[in-house]
Amino acid sequence: MPVTPKYPYLRDGVDVYLGESDEVTFVYLSTRKRLTIKCHPGLVQSLTSMRGRKTVGDIQRLFQQTYPNSGLEDSKVEDFIGYLHEKNIVVDENWFDELGLPAAYQERLKRQLYFLMDLVNDTSRIADIQRRILETKVVICGVGAMGGWIARELAMMGFLKFVLIDHDITEASDAARHAFSNNSRLGQSKANVVADGLREIDPEICVAIHSFAITVETILDEVMDGAGLLINAADEPYIGYTSVKLSRYAVKNDLPLLVAGGFDAHLASFGEMIIPRITPCADCYVNYFRASLADWKPVPHPVADRSRGFGGWSPLSVVSASASALQVLKYFIDPKLVYTGRRTEFLAPDYSTYTFKVDRDIHCKICGN
Ligand SMILES: [Zn+2]
């Protein structure tokens, strides 16, 4: 027998469409999934009582008063509410208050927690997901046009502990593309600018800063310091090299790594999540390209100095950062939900996407079986 909530509440994330008198369709807004059921018209009508002020008993009594000859037993009303609860259409009125997260934090994250309710349908799991987000330290390599937006979105998603690694300073053009930079902060350390911006989102946010770039010499153990999530959004040195270094570290330490952004001639990539032994690692990608591009003879670009390339640009960087942030959220819901082994790029001219898939190489020297 399904469990029924004490004060049934028809969730705001579900739209209700009435069909024939005995038919009702529910549409889950986050997923656009639909559920159509047929039942006694009185049960359909009883939905209007499920606003959190009436108990299951009140709703049963109201039903029997309105439909004295329905022939339905009280237990059918309770079963109906239990069924809707199981389908995440009806919840308990107080589910949000009972999550047990710090009050101000929970209030700030309200919209995300409601969104999670659409996806997860289990209040104790939602509380657990958000608590893990709250406790996880994120290391972001590179907080320029891409990393800055990712840092911002992750702070807005409730991450409170950050390590930012960036050696660069802000310049005039950053004011048109960077999540936090503006004209009053020209020539300042990007990591400092981002750190200040994050603390404005939530004063509880703690940020450590390292003013260097990741190179082959960097001893990652010295900067990771209890990290639970790594993000590579650095464009210097070449992101392909730093990603291999970070990915090997991630596999060895069983940490998720998000390689983000509009790098390497791609302007709005969705970013790939590397999860040890679930997705391909950076070496798997390298092996894939080595095999698939075996006959390709690279020709140097005719322009040697390409420093004037336009790089990150806010509309495209924000697309990439948002796709990346959603990957992170999915990882925290369930690592198996992550968009695995695919590189996707958003193509702004016609709003299409281009994707190719790379399989995990089970013989990979780094992450293979
Ligand atoms: Zn691998």
| Domains in the chain: boundaries | 8-92, 136-357
Query: Distance from the CA of 219 to the center of ligand 1, in angstroms?
Result: 21
Instruction: Output the CA 283–ligand 1 centroid distance in Å.
Output: 5
For the chain, the average pLDDT equals: 90
Residue 249 Cα to ligand 1 middle (Å): 12
* Mean pLDDT within 214-222: 90
Give 341-364 pLDDT, tens digit per residue.
788 888 888 999 988 888 888 899
**CATH code for the part of the protein at 8-92:** 3.90.930.60
**CA of 289 relative to ligand 1 center, distance in Å:** 13
Q: What is the pTM of this model?
A: 0.90
CA of 320 to the centre of ligand 1 (A): 24
Ligand 1 centroid to 369 CA: how many Å?
Answer: 9
Instruction: Kindly tell me if the per-residue pLDDT of 1 is higher than 70.
Output: no
How close is the Cα of 78 to the center of ligand 1, in Å? 52
pLDDT-derived band at 308 (thresholds 50, 70, 90) equals low
CA of 360 to the centre of ligand 1 (A): 6
- Ligand 1 mean position to 253 CA, how many Å? 14
Q: What is the mean pLDDT of residues 25-31?
A: 92
- What pLDDT is stored for residue 206 in this prediction? 98
- Percentage of the chain with pLDDT > 90? 66
Calculate how far, in angstroms, residue 235's C-alpha sits from the geometric centre of ligand 1. Answer: 22
pLDDT, tens only, 150-179: 999 999 999 999 999 999 999 998 988 899
261 CA from centroid of ligand 1 (Å) = 20
Give Cβ neighbours of residue 57 (< 8 Å, ≥ 6 apart). none
What is the whole-number distance in angstroms between the Cα of residue 357 and the centre of ligand 1?
Answer: 14
Class of domain 136-357: alpha beta
Contacts of 79 (CB under 8 A, 6+ apart): 1, 2
pLDDT at 263 > cutoff 60: no
**Distance (Å) from CA 60 to ligand 1 centroid:** 58
